């Protein structure tokens, strides 16, 4: 199994129904072969906004995925990822990268390095066998804690190399946290006693699907 096919299989196991992309990236073709619907856009930032919307309208239950080519594709996607980071939106970004022999040679754009300040998690896969672990780390980041983008860069020569088949991968579990019950009781008491309460709620309410509590 090639790395691109393994990534597509991981996406499918994580419940991804469609992948948004801008050619050329072998993950796009592999996703189509894995029966994941591929949506091709004409500009990277537009595709990022679409992936952003997938995560937002589903309250993070479905994670938006975007794949693009190395170099100009990764450069043009920067703005869309930055906006998702600023708005705390969980998306997974899968840029192709220059072959490993060229990855850190100027002026070649390295996504894993340049996106670090606008992603919750960013890494480059240089060993084919580590692809599943890298994807697991990315999905762990977007499904847990504060929602923000995660990026995994795959050099072009890594995507076409072989890894062990069958693929060993289990979908990431999402954990939930809760406040101290005593603090909840205290807040409830303050709200009940308030004469003109105003609740200023952030988008955490949206991702927790807690809107019924605010009615």
**Predicted confidence (pLDDT) per residue in 177-188, tens digit:** 888 989 989 988
Nearest to 149 by CA among 170, 111, 120, 189: 120
Domain boundaries, the chain: 3-159, 181-214
pLDDT given at position 215 = 62
**pLDDT, mean of residues 189-212:** 84
How far apart CA 66 and CA 171 sit, in angstroms, is 19
Strands (E), 1-46: 18-21, 37-40
User: What fold characterizes domain 3-159?
Assistant: Rossmann fold (3.40.50)
Residues in Cβ contact with 162 at an 8 Å cutoff, skipping those fewer than 6 apart: 1, 2, 3, 128
Do the beta carbons of residue 22 and residue 41 sit within 8 Å? yes
Name the DSSP letter for residue 166.
Answer: S
**Predicted confidence (pLDDT) per residue in 50-103, tens digit:** 999 999 999 999 999 999 999 999 999 999 999 999 999 999 999 999 999 999
Nearest to 152 by CA among 78, 206, 97: 97
* Least confident range of 5-14, 34-43, 166-175: 166-175
Kindly indicate the confidence band of residue 30, based on its pLDDT and cuts at 50, 70 and 90: very high
Considering the chain, what percentage of its residues have pLDDT values greater than 70? 99
pLDDT given at position 197 = 84
Q: Indicate if the alpha-carbon torsion angle 57, 62, 68, 72 is positive or negative.
A: positive
**pLDDT, mean of residues 164-173:** 93
pLDDT given at position 214 = 59
**pLDDT, mean of residues 136-141:** 98
pTM (two decimals): 0.90
The torsion defined by the Cα of 93, 208, 37 and 153, in degrees rounded to 10, comes to: 10
**pLDDT, mean of residues 3-27:** 97
């Amino acid at each position: 199994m090639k790395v691109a096919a393994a990534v597509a299989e991981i996406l499918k196991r994580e419940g991804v129904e469609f992948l948004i992309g801008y050619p050329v990236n072998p993950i796009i073709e592999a996703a189509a072969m894995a029966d994941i619907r591929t949506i091709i856009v004409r500009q990277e930032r537009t595709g990022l906004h679409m992936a952003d919307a997938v995560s937002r309208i589903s309250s993070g239950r479905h994670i938006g995925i975007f794949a693009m080519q190395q170099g100009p594709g990764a450069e043009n996607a920067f703005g869309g990822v930055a906006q998702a980071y600023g708005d705390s939106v969980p998306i997974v970004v899968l840029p192709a990268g220059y072959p490993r022999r060229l990855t850190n040679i100027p002026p070649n754009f390295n996504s894993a390095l340049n996106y670090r300040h606008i992603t919750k998690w960013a890494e480059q896969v240089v060993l084919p066998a580590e692809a599943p672990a890298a994807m697991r780390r990315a999905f762990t980041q977007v499904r847990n804690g504060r929602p923000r983008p995660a990026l995994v860069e795959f050099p072009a020569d890594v995507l076409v190399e072989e890894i062990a088949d069958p693929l060993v991968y289990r979908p990431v579990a999402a954990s939930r946290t809760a406040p101290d019950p005593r603090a909840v009781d205290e807040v409830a008491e303050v709200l009940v006693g308030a004469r003109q309460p105003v609740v200023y709620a952030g988008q955490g309410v949206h991702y927790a699907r807690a809107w019924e509590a605010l009615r």
